[in-house]
Amino acid sequence: MPSDQSTWLISVPQDGESEGLLQEITTKLVKQSKTLPPNNITSLTIPSFKTGTLDSLISLSEDLPKQEAFFTQTVAKIVDTLRNLLNNDPSKMSQHVLVNEAAVDDYLLHDWSWNEGRYGVQRGLPEMAEVLNKEMTSIDNVMKTKLNSYNLAKGSLTQMQRKKTGNLSVRSLADVVSKDDFILDSEYMETLLVAVPKSVKEWSSKYERLTSMVVPRSSQPIAADSEYSLFGVVIFRKVHDEFVQKCRENKFIVRDFQYSEGALAKQREELDTADTTEKELWTELLRLSRTNFSESFQLLVHLKVLRLFVESVLRYGLPANYTGLIIKPDPKQVKKILTILSSQFSYLAPRSNKRTMNGKGGGNEDVAGEYQSLMEQEFFDFVLYEVPWIVN
């Protein structure tokens, strides 16, 4: 059963039965399903590719599903990148998940055509598949590199910003203290910064007696938050370690901080640089993701059509002329729509089973032995491949 979250690409042999097919199918589907708009059904022009040999077609039919999985994964990763960049905002996603500046449905349902300017049909099928694969691989590699660069920049910025958050026992003090809070350039004395839990009275009554050589009445409040108050206290350098230990025993936290105008200026500059770099890389990655979504989705659809053609030749044989349809089903009507299509194309049953029948007995044992699992797959009487919906 095809997915109810995909648009279907369908191929049948181009013969007398297929003339006027679009109008006939549209009328039946709209009338019987009742919820399917006519503009959700359109024709698909399948190019007349060079068919090549039977062996090359069977080889392609084995390779293309692997390429298709890679293509689908690449498109999905780009969409995930856009979601992350845009905070999963559907309105913003709809502005960036576009193909040639149009909605995905418009690209598929409004006269889709093979891009012969880039992928001329004079190429052989294996070469065509290779060209598509090289382009998608290039997109995937570029996206990985750019995403990694952005994630590193974002991680660096987040780490710097994290230092500015939290309570006064852990956060950066660069934007909390000033030069006036310190005794500077003293050979014998220094100012320590102490984060004190809300027991401020305990600190005030104890700090002068924690060790000797604490300057009396030197404790000065600098800042406070909901958990801690930050004090500056002046001590003699020779009792530094002892004072820190005594503070620890009393659950007062001495912050490891040396005031330096140069260091503080450098820290602020580094934060500004990190912020600017992150914003620039965010903008670049968003632009690249938008562009590469459009490119990668087109590549995916082209590969699907290529696979549709290969399967049609293997299924129905020559001449390699096929009529195509694109249908965006109502998710609640998938089974009914499939039943209508199966009834419409039931006349193809003898031809669509030909591939399996030819693998049994008489003159084809070698081929059947090599490709038996492939030949015994179950098929609809028509060829159907799915293009997954992009959910904003």
The C-alpha angle 43, 46, 52, rounded to 5 degrees, equals: 165
Question: Which residues, including other chains, have CB under 8 Å from residue 24's CB and lie 6 or more apart?
Answer: 344
267 occurs within a structural domain: no
Please give the residue that has the higher pLDDT: either 15 or 132: 132
Separation CA 171–CA 221 (nearest Å): 17
Same domain, 146 and 284: yes
Residues 252 and 311 occupy one common structural domain: no
Phi, psi for 175 (deg, rounded to 5) = -100, 15
Give me the CATH number covering residue 343: 1.20.1460.10
Domain shared by 242 and 288, yes or no: no
pLDDT of residue 369: 47
Predicted local distance difference test score (pLDDT) of residue 17: 60
> Among 215, 230, 258, which residue terminates a domain?
258
343 plus 233 within the same structural domain: no
- Residue 338 and residue 334: Cα distance in Å, rounded? 6
Tell me, yes or no, whether 163 lies in a domain. no
Is the domain of 20 the same as that of 151? yes
pLDDT of residue 246: 97
Question: Sorting pLDDT into bands at 50, 70 and 90, what band is 358?
Answer: very low
Average pLDDT of the residues of the chain: 90
Kindly report, residue by residue over 190-214, the tens digit of the pLDDT: 999 999 998 899 999 999 999 999 9
Rounded to an integer, the average pLDDT of 231-256 is 97
Q: Show the tokens assigned to 99.
A: 């193909």
CB 8 within 8 A of CB 329: yes
The whole-number pLDDT of residue 375 equals 46
Compute φ and ψ for 244, nearest 5 degrees. -60, -45
Asked if residues 156 and 274 have their Cβ atoms less than 8 Å apart, the reply is yes
Q: Give the pLDDT of residue 367.
A: 46
Residues 208 and 354 placed together within one structural domain of the fold: no
Q: Is residue 104 part of a domain?
A: yes
**50 and 109 assigned to the same domain:** yes
Do residues 330 and 196 share a domain? no
Residue 244 shares a structural domain with residue 355: no
1 within a domain of the structure (yes/no)? no
Q: Is the pLDDT of residue 364 over 50?
A: no
Of 258, 291, 324, the domain-final residue:
258
- The residue written with tokens 């199918």 in the block is 25
Domain with 232, as residue range(s), is 179-258
30 and 107 together in one domain: yes
For residue 131, being part of any structural domain is answered with: yes
Domain CATH for 185: 3.30.70.100
In a domain, 253, yes or no: yes
Say whether pLDDT at 215 is over 80. yes
Number of domains in the chain: 2
